[in-house]
Each structure stands twice: as C-alpha cells, then as structure tokens.
Amino acid sequence: MTSEVLRYPAGAGRTVWVRFGDAADGDLAVTAPADLLAERRAAIHSSRWTWLRQVHGAEVVVVTEPGEGAGAEADAAVTDRPMVPLAVHTADCAPVALWSDEGVIGAIHAGWRGLLVGVVANCCRHMHRLGAGDLFAAVGPCISAARYEFGRDELALLEQRFGPAVVGHTTEGGPALDLRAAVSAALRQQDVSLVEVSPVCTAESDRHFSHRARRDARRQATVVWLESSGPT
C-alpha cells in the first residue's frame, strides 16, 4: 500500500483516490522549507492542498475549494467537492481515508489522544452532514503494537473506550497500544466499513518516517481526493 495511489468507486461515476505516501516523497512536514513543500506537493497533486496543523484533537475542517482551511489547527478534513486534495501527515500515527457513494470524502490524523477525544466520530458526523450515507475507510501505515510501548493508565482508558483488542505487547513483553486495532474499533463504532488496513509498521519499515523509532521530525503525507474520472 505504500507510495501507491489506491482508487475506490464513490458513486455516480466518481472515484476517490487515496495516496499513502512514504519517505521517497521527501519530507512533507508542514515545517519543511516552503519551496520544497510546494514542489513535493505538486508532484503528488497539482491542486492546492488542505493541510492541517495537527494538534491531536477532534476538530474537523469542512472544505469547499482547493486549499481552503490550509494551516488550520485540526486533525481531520472533509469535502464533497471534486479536485480538492485533503492531506494529513504522519510518522507513526494512523492516516485514515474515508469516502461514501454520495461523493463525500474525509481524511483523519488518528493518534491515541485524538481517538480518545472523538476525532473519528466527529469526522463521520461532518461527512453525514454533507450528505454521506454509508461510509468506507482505508487505514494507512502506522506504528505496530510490537514497537509502541504504552503507559498502563492511558492504555486502560483506550481499552475501556475501544475494547480489549487495543491491548498489545512489545517485543520485550511490555504493555503496548495496538493503534491499528484502536483505529479500526473507532471506525466500526461509527458503522464504517473497513476496506483496507495496511499491515506496514512505520517503526520497522525503512521506507517510512518514524518518530518513535528514529525520532524523526519528518513526515509522510496521505492525500485523499475525489474525481469524476481518471487521476490527475
């Protein structure tokens, strides 16, 4: 699934495109030099991106034109307009792409704090307000439980919210969060159908940036957009 554009039908001849990027794209962190960011973004999608200053919260930006809301403090974005790229940036957290047959799409930056405060539920609510019916999702590469040692108190909160499947163990046997399971549970709680869940661990992959494993300040980008036909 890495560095690959995936396509799914979105009703009425529309297609949703999902690109789970990796380190080969270069650093796409919003703090990277502006000229390099512009060049790297254009190589992925030529329209202006809606990118976010992610704060591990539940805020959602509703976008009506390319680039609208860029730089907002939020962890998700939604739109029902074609050719409006939505981007989230990760280096261990889970990138989530959502879509519906009514042509509504969304992108979520899903870390444990955002999951606890309801970023998935809030994004789904905003998509339904735009006219989405049934929702579908693809979850991109994120850190695995084997590499994600986690505090017992926080882990207990997540288990209470999302069930026992979120509790894992590191390779050394310590308590760990299964972020992939937590994101999947949060989506299922909103009746979202999971179409793809990447098995790739960012901490173990040499093709991905990882804050936990390598203290990376760099980020890969996941970009989601809607088209009537063919890619840009």
CA distances from 174 to 91, 147, 161, 165, 181 (A): 22, 10, 21, 16, 17
Residue 2 has pLDDT above 50, yes or no: no
The confidence score (pLDDT) of residue 232 equals: 45
Question: Domains plus CATH for the chain?
Answer: 4-142+190-227 (3.60.140.10)
**Average pLDDT taken over every residue of the chain:** 95
pTM (2 d.p.):
0.95
Residue 1 has pLDDT above 50, yes or no: no
- Over the stretch 88-137, which tens digit does the pLDDT of each residue have? 999 999 999 999 999 999 999 999 999 999 999 999 999 999 999 999 99
Average pLDDT over residues 154-171: 97
The confidence score (pLDDT) of residue 229 equals: 64
CA distances from 103 to 15, 107, 110, 221 (A): 8, 14, 22, 22
- Over the stretch 24-72, which tens digit does the pLDDT of each residue have? 999 999 999 999 999 999 999 999 999 999 999 999 999 999 999 999 9
Residue 86 has pLDDT above 60, yes or no: yes
Bigger pLDDT: 173 vs 3: 173
Q: How many residues does the chain have?
A: 232
Cβ–Cβ under 8 Å, residues 75 and 119? yes
CA distances from 148 to 80, 116, 139, 140, 201 (A): 35, 17, 18, 16, 10
Tally helices (H) and strands (E) across the chain: 6, 14
In three-state secondary structure terms, 148 is coil
- What is the phi/psi pair of residue 198, to 5°? -65, 135
